[in-house]
Amino acid sequence: MKAKAIMTGLWGLLVFTAPTLADPPLATTEKTYRLLQTISSQLQEVQTSFTPSESTPAATALAKAREQVRIVAAHCCRDLYVAQLTAAKAALARNDRQQGLHHLRKADETLSGCPVPSDPEPEHDHQESGKEAVARR
């Protein structure tokens, strides 16, 4: 039963992440993030039904799936933050201060709730410098 619910959630994720013309990017990103949170909590609920010493293939697969959902949720959280900032910028460009402030507050709330990635990505480009290119030759 729980596996069916998880599969339904994963199919829903695919539907929500498909490009749509009706929803603006912010609404779609919010829906995707909420769905990922729901899937994560369902996976956690199922995982707690296994005993800690149980090392079945199902328990291993479940732990791996939960970690993958956690990673995707962290990336989606940052995407939601960027979408909210973009919406705030668009509102402020239209001189809609109230809507701009609303989006900025939501962005702040989102950022404070984003999980910290376990292995932070470097903040610089991965392009090699001229000296590194010469040294490699």
Residue-by-residue DSSP string for 21-64: SSS-HHHHHHHHHHHHHHHHHHHHHHHHTS-TT---HHHHHHHH
The answer to whether the pTM exceeds 0.95 is: no
The Cα–Cα gap between 113 and 28 comes to 18
Residue 54 located in a structural domain: yes
Total structural domains within the chain: 1
Closest CA to 77 of 124, 13, 34: 34
| pLDDT above 60 (res 132) | no
Domain that holds residue 47: 2-114
> pLDDT tens across 32-77, in order?
888 988 988 888 888 787 766 667 888 788 888 888 888 888 888 9
Q: Picking from 100-104, 106-110, 118-122, which range would have the lowest pLDDT averaged per residue?
A: 118-122
Residue 55 located in a structural domain: yes
The model's confidence at residue 96, banded by pLDDT at 50, 70 and 90, is very high
Residue 131 located in a structural domain: no
Closest CA to 33 of 73, 83, 85, 84: 73
> pLDDT tens across 14-36, in order?
555 544 433 468 888 889 888 98
Residue 50 located in a structural domain: yes
- Residue 55, number of CB atoms within 10 A of its CB: 9
Average pLDDT over every residue of 83-99: 93
Residue 124 located in a structural domain: no
